[in-house]
Chains A and B, each alone.
Chain A
């Protein structure tokens, strides 16, 4: 191999080493710096924005706290879905049993994961047997007691065609969503 070719190969070797150990790491560092600068710029923009709207932010926060507090009381608070299932089942069962009605089935068929604001729900299917009048009242009582309950389906099946007599034996199947509010961590 002649000296000129050897010099050329050594030059190419050094060039490749420089690219691998100097240029590429340098470019990577610049890419990281670009991302940090972008984050910093966004933070600065937000900071300038909140300082300029200081009064509006304070006022809005106070108003929202008041209005949300009024709405929150309609949603039972619970630390998690499991606890709320237990609590809701106890309350519904107690309401039904107070009216001497018989629960034939009580299943939780769906858990709605709480959204970022903490509002979640569980969906239950309840089957109750009793006289027509008591079951009709039960539906109204449940809707009144559980303000966050949304009835999705209700089915009344009469033992024989009902002409309005209150004693007709009836089976009610109710599918309802019970909404709750996840308790904020301390």
Chain B
């Protein structure tokens, strides 16, 4: 049973992962999904190949991220084809990575919510001393874990030269990622991206859509709100007028009838209150009949009380049992019993008898 469930859950998980991989697009020479299908449909994330952008870095002596973001926005002057990522504060300055997309990509932009530079994503998957060589056909570049990268050419023709040029440790692991070998590294890197990075790399289509569509959307919402409120107000007005018309049509006899109904309610309540008094009323005078029985049985009474429909006799007699028998056999008496133990005092027995008067009951 458990193995069946585990197999079932594993199947669901693998189907979800396969569906998500279909929504990850890798924009290199071709546009492929991570399942190696043609990625022409709308995706969640487009990983932009290194050949489609230029990268540069710049340090700004600004501590506040928000302030630095405003500075960069002003500096770029509304260029939508430049993405940037603000780095951590080091020595009272922050390094900003700029990714300038090529004009070829502008012509046919990928359709996805997020556009992420390949070198950034891959660098997040590398260890501190790792160097990756990414190779696709004729195109090849070297990448360090801090994101520094260099297209192969000139004096930089091997990972070792790149290590020396980029200031990376000379000893370390070299990864050779040819074509689709990079995909597992990209998937690892995607999971390590910070939340603010996702926001910084939202797709151009999304940015443009938000910028251009908010006015009509807001106008539509405002119109819908006003129409809704108007319709509700109209409904209330019409319904209330109709109710009032129906009430008028019922005629003048309604008011006295409503008063009569209210009077009935009060009379019923009054009757209930009066009846409840008599239902709970237990006459106390029959307690003297109990006393008379005790005397007839040869008893003497010290005190006699009535409480909650019961009679309690405190007294003495030569035989307390005979007194109890006499009381128990009286008419209108039930549940006669000794309230406490019988005590002997010289030639008399002291007793406390409790009995219920049948005409009432416990209140």
Binding site for B on A (CB under 8 A): 15, 23, 26-27, 29-30, 33-34, 36-37, 40-41, 43-44, 46-48, 50-51, 54, 57-58, 60-61, 64-65, 67-68, 71-72, 74-75, 115-119, 136, 139-140, 143, 148, 150-158, 161-164, 179
Contacts and interface: CB of A to CB of B under 8 A. Distances in A.
Given A61-B260, A119-B274, A151-B306, A37 B268 contact: no
Contacts, number: 148
Contact of A161 (B225, B302, B305): B302
Interface string B247-266: 10011011001101101101
24 contacts: A30-B233, A40-B243, A44-B246, A46-B258, A47-B250, A50-B257, A51-B251, A68-B267, A68-B270, A116-B269, A119-B274, A143-B283, A143-B285, A148-B277, A150-B280, A150-B282, A151-B283, A152-B307, A154-B306, A158-B301, A161-B316, A162-B295, A163-B300, A164-B291
A37 B239 CA distance: 8
Interface string B296-308: 0000111111111
Query: What's the dominant secondary structure at chain B's contact region?
Result: helix
B303 A67 contact: no
A61 B263 contact: yes
A131 to B, nearest CB: 14
Given A47-B254, A139-B284, A151-B284, A117 B243 contact: no
A152 B246 CA distance: 55
Contact of B300 (A34, A44, A139, A161): A161
Main SS of chain A's interface residues?
helix
A99 to B, nearest CB: 15
Interface residues of B, number: 56
Interface of B: 222, 225, 229, 232-233, 236-237, 239-240, 243-244, 246-247, 250-251, 253-254, 257-258, 260-261, 263-264, 266-275, 277, 280-285, 287-288, 291-292, 295, 300-308, 315-316
Nearest to A168: B301
Contact of A163 (B233, B260, B295): B295
Given A68-B274, A155-B304, A157-B303, 6 more contacts: A34-B236, A43-B247, A50-B261, A60-B264, A64-B264, A154-B306
A126 to B, nearest CB: 13
B247 A44 contact: yes
B240 A37 contact: yes
Given A61-B264, A64-B264, A154 B271 contact: no
Contact of A50 (B244, B258, B267, B280): B258
Given A50-B257, A57-B260, A26 B233 contact: yes
A162 B233 contact: no
A116 B225 CA distance: 48
A164 B295 contact: yes
Contact of B250 (A27, A48, A148): A48
A50 B258 CA distance: 7
B284 A64 contact: no
A51 B247 CA distance: 11
Contacts of A117: 266-267, 269-273
Given A23-B225, A71-B274, A139-B285, A40 B244 contact: yes
Contact of A51 (B233, B254, B275): B254
Given A26-B229, A64-B264, A139-B284, A47 B303 contact: no
A43 B243 CA distance: 9
B295 to A, nearest CB: 4
Given A140-B285, A161-B301, A161-B316, A116 B260 contact: no
A162 B316 CA distance: 10
Residue of B246, B264, B271, B273 contacting most chain A CB atoms (<10 Å): B273
A154 B273 contact: no
A153 B306 contact: yes
Nearest to B240: A37
A44 B258 CA distance: 11
A51 B229 contact: no
Most buried by B among A36, A57, A65: A57
